[in-house]
Structure formats: C-alpha cells, structure tokens
Amino acid sequence: MDLCELFQQKKCVLSFEVFPPKKSSGVESIYRTLDELCALRPDFISVTFGAGGTGVKDNLTVELAGAIRARGVEPLAHLTCINSDEETLLGLLDRLEEAGVRNILALRGDRVEGAEEGPYRHANELMERIARRGGFNLVGACYPECHCEAPDALHDLQNLRRKQEAGATHLITQLFFDNRCFYDFVEKARIAGVSLPIEAGIMPIVSKRQIERIVTLCGASIPPKFARMLSRFEGDPAALRDAGIAYATEQIIDLIGSGVEGIHIYTMNNPAVARRICENIATALDCVNGGGAA
C-alpha cells in the first residue's frame, strides 16, 4: 500500500519509528521488538537508515523493512543521500523493491566529516531521482521549529515546497515538546502552499540521558511545563518514565482533539513505552476514526 492512501481512509493515522541496532549490538533483540510493536497494529512503521555509524552498504534498513512487511504492517524505509553515490542508491532501491517495500522517507542525512558527498545533496533532489526511477511512494521530513541549518523559517518552508513539488505525498515532523510550535508551523505551511498531510512526531522522554542527547541532536525547545517535569523527577527513573509517558499522552490527545492528520511515535525501540501510550490514546483514536461514539 502507498501510505498516502491511509490519509484518505482515516482521520488520524498512527505510526511508529524504529532504528537498526549498532554493529556492536546483537540483532536478535530488534526482531523481538518488531514482534511487539507490530502486535500493536500501527498503520505503518518506519525504519531509520543505519545507526551509530553504520555505513550505507552494511545497514539493516532493507532487511528490517522486509521483516515488518512480513509481520503484516506496512514499512516505511528511510533513505539518505548525502554520502551515497549513484550506484549505491540505485542498488538500495532495487533491494527495497525486491523486498516489496513501496514507501521511502527520502532524507538528506547527516554530513559525515571527511566523507565524500554524493551527487544528491538535498532531500528534494533524492526524491526527484527516485520519482524518475519510479515504483515508490515518497514521504518527506519537516521541522516545526525550523531546520537547524536553514537561515530562517521562510527558507525552510520554501525547501518544504520543493519536497512537495518533487513528489512527496505526506510529511512527518521532527519531534517537538510544545504543541503550539506544531500548530504555528502547520498554519504557516498551509499559507506557503504546502497541502500534504502532516504527521506530528512525538517522542516519549523516559530518561534524563535521552533528553540530553535529543536536545543536543535536534535542538527541540523545552517548554516550561516540560522543564518542570524533568527537574521534579530526574532523580527517580521510574517516576520520570511515568511522567514522560503521561506528557507524551497529553500531547497526543491534544493533537488528536485539534484535528492532527497523524501521530508518529519515536519509540526508541521500546515496545513497553509504545504499548502504554497506545493504550492511553486508543479511545481518542477510535473516536476520530469512526469507531467510537459520535
């Protein structure tokens, strides 16, 4: 199934993200994780492109996307281009097609110091190349608080328009902790002519180490309410985990109530956390998607 069809069938789509294990980690656990996540019946699961320095040619993204499909859930494979040559990219597309994976989240990827850049240096250029090849449905990333390398929000929205024009059929946001950032972003994107469905990316923060790393990597702002929660519970791992799940649940319920077109949960390969959130939001999702009381 092309994922764009989901947005014609449901008011609010639910999806997860997982990442392949690092080279130093055993791969057995990721398949147990997939079993548990697929049992929650999300509309699709995305798989990031490698992890922890995994190279383009030896990452497990294609294999895991195929494993998700074999479990009866639609996969979305991430594909980056900044450090990949044409031959490698086309080879990966062939492998994805052979695995029955139709949906690709096309990304620039992180620049690697000292690595040679490939012929495609932006996500829209990768999308255009994939569209010329054919055979895939394209998804794009977007940034409610502006991409860290964009000179300003207007420039960032112009880049988003380029993704739409290159063939993206829906968008998934970077994580955020303040729903007002998301609502403001969607309003500005619509004014700028971006008409694609936009899924809200939500990450449940369940450990102090997690928040420190995430903020460093993506620069998401920390609203006062969230900061107070972290300060209050950072010394108690169990309390912080429960508070993080509660905060993410509150975010999601507010988004669903405000008409969001999709929720994309960054699971961090933690099915127990994903399960608790799914249980918390089940009735709200069921209601907006036609299964609950009017």
Active site residue ranges = 17
| CA gap 164, 201 in Å, rounded | 19
Distance separating the N- and C-terminal Cα atoms of the chain: 29
Sign of the dihedral defined by the CA atoms of residues 264, 212, 61, 162, in that order: positive
Give yes or no for a contact between 47 and 76, defined as CB atoms under 8 angstroms apart: yes
Tokens of 18: 């997982």
Residues 6+ apart with CB under 8 A from 18: 30, 33, 34, 37, 45, 46, 47, 48, 64, 267, 269
